Structure 1
Amino acid sequence: MTQDLKSKIDANVLRDEGEVARALLEKARPSPNEKAETERLARRLVHAVRKGRRPQGGVDAFMQEYSLSSEEGVVLMCLAEALLRIPDADTADKLIADKIGGRDWNEHFGHSDSLFVNASTWGLMLTGRVVDLGRDTTGDASGFLGNLVKQSGEPIIRQAMRHAMRIMGKQFVLGRTIKEALQIAAEDEKQGYRHSFDMLGEAAMTADDAERYFQSYRDALLATAANAGTSQDKDVFARPSISIKLSALHPRYEPRKKDDLERELLPRLVEVCTLAKEHNLGVTIDAEEADKLELSLELFKQLAEDKSLTGWNGLGLAVQAYGRRACPTLEWL
């Protein structure tokens, strides 16, 4: 990157957030015509959604009751994502006990006319009490019953919770595998939608983890390509794409390991992108922690300038819009 643009990015690392926000507000202030057009579009969209909406119930009612601004709502979203990816019962039990116990589910009971919300609240209350009552022996009938349920009913609770979370998870997670995601996306694609398939996962801790993620990305690209068909003459932006994490492809994705990453990670990135180029698909590099931004930009630059990828316009980089350095980063891109 040029020194001038790099200086702009570096200058915003610890810049006062209030100062950044004020500058952005000025840039984002719409003209009277833009404001009027925005309001017209918003009203049209809201009316269209309300007109085509079924009577509220199920997940809609559940999400309205358990807002993401509440602790309980955040816990539910953690479970919705995590439980879909946990194969063994012991880990699922531990996660449920950790995330559900102690939350004030009783505050929500009876606030909704939707049977789904109230029934789910009973389940959440029961699960919370199972965890709490097991912490010490109360010696009364209620405590005895709670401990009995804990000893004999946790697998049942786990299965019920996994089922409920799978219903909710589908609102946010398209599928547990790329095959499942492609099947679910098929109906939307018939209506003209296109998808970027984000591969959920954590950073690699070992070389074996990195190899597994690498193979998963390759498999996802091949599955997406097979599903999308051979349309080499079609604009890459009109076709599906996948999103990858650099920290999933190397166990030491750290600025101080820059030389190792250029030697070990970069060739893997070129291989993934070459495969995407062959099938006319896009690849987006996901955002990492803020302290790794400069490292990500440097690797992105080398990847974008790789001669073997000339003519392919499918390389993208996710930029965290809430970051102080978002605007100079976009300028650099």
Structure 2
Amino acid sequence: AEDVINPSDLTAVGQVTPASAADVEQALAAAQPWDAPAAERAAALNKAADLYEENFGELFAILAREAGKSIPDAVAELREAVDFMRYYAANIPPAAPAGVFTCISPWNFPLAIFSGQISAGLACGNAVLAKPAEQTPLIAHRAISLMHEAGVPRSALQLLPGQGSKIGAALTGDARVDGVAFTGSTATAMRIRSTMAETLRPGAPLIAETGGLNAMIVDSTALPEQAVQSIIESAFQSAGQRCSALRCLYLQDDVADGVLTMLKGAMDVLNLGDPWHLNVDSGPVIDAGARAGILAHIDQARAEGRVLKEMSTPQAGTFVGPTLISVTGIGDLEQEIFGPVLHVARFKSQDLDKIINDINATGYGLTFGLHTRIDDRVQHVCDRIHAGNIYVNRNQIGAIVGSQPFGGEGLSGTGPKAGGPNYLARFCAPDRQTSAETWGTTTADLPGETGVPGRPITTSLPGPTGESNRLTTSARPPLLCMGPGATAAASQAKEVIGMGGTAIEAHGMFDLHRLEFIQGIAGVLWWGDEDTGREIERTLAKRQGPILPLIPGHPDRARVLAERHVCVDTTAAGGNAALLGGES
């Protein structure tokens, strides 16, 4: 057994016995899809949600001691976990399950994301093999035990703690697995994609939510007090250990000095310490390795004279003081610093579009924040920024299930959005096509017919008074329709275009090696033999950039259409914003 360490004081709070290779084999052999009516599965998930709420005190204590969660963060995490279970229970699609799903969750939301992935898989009738983060197995064990108590069969839900390099690799590299849900780093997602290409059936879904270099722009019309509160929450809540956290702040020159003065003053009143205490605002980072990496980044900035503000920390535990670092722009950030470090850049009003281009050029697209009171500017920026979740005049963390479906684009994830209307479909069996022999063949090659995308569709989602939540779907880059044969490729393109997407027909003697280098596509449709499908998977896995899927059956909406959510605090005008005009 191995000790589980409390990051606040480095004491042991429990022990875990990591799964062995034999345990993995036994779990795979025993895994059975949950063959029960949808109503029965929904009832069990709702019962599990009830049990989570009934055992709130115990769950809060584990979250604080094992993951360094503050009490407010623990409350929010329990709420999110419960919301996931109830939302998915209420929206089970009438489709067959994929089969066996591996769910790999992170330490920064060890109850909410862990429960969300699992409940989605279970709602659709899958068997789920759950691999929690190495740092947070105790909360995972308690969550699984409550789900079993609620009526989830043990053959449908098994817990396999251990190292990602061993247990995670085993659970994503076995042909008996039919799909993987993963939240974590982009690099790890890429490795999982490569492993799946070699061993899982071609077209097995990978639902990946990964990191981001999230930015916020504050212009000269913003309300400084409101902006500073949003900045503090976005950058330093949860010790900056949220994938949605603010990493690079852009302040317009005209107001930068004043906002920075207020921001430093707000940092001075933050209280760091044992997160179990109610007066604590921010706890430790997750472990010594994380702390060392963050401090090395701060040390380098200090040596270069770029540290603007740095807070002291408690002596015990793995604390990092909230820190401000000056940068020229987001291009200075070579990687995501996953902790309470905020990089600050200044900009001139006329350079707004350049800043947007610089943010988009990172390739990430998870969250983005904007503070402005100019309506035209809100529209201008939202139309151009590449981010899955955009927040206007509020913080950019804490997405609410059903109101703010969460997930990124580009290097920040594959979609569909968790807690949204398209998520559960990815946990269902693909609607497969007729075998390749029924389709005609042709030697036609690129370029082919390109579809015209439909108009974006915007849906208003529920939320509190004073907040607007809009989910917009619009065409992804084209899907490459490879048939086999002209008839199949044309049918594929017709389906994609019919959903409002774009398509390129490429069939017959198309050179698979070109797939590694073709730019500007969102995935590949292939209804042919498995051997060719395997080669397509391997080639897609070699590509640099976003993770692209092979689609072996009918495409679903989430692969044809990109989802983008915009949340606006509509109470933030602070007076008659029309008097400000269109420029600042």
**TM, length-normalised to structure 1:** 0.28
The two structures have a TM-score, normalised by structure 2, of 0.18
Q: Which has the higher helix share?
A: 1
* Greater relative CO (CA pairs within 8 A, separation 6+): 1
In terms of fraction of residues, the more strand-rich structure is 2
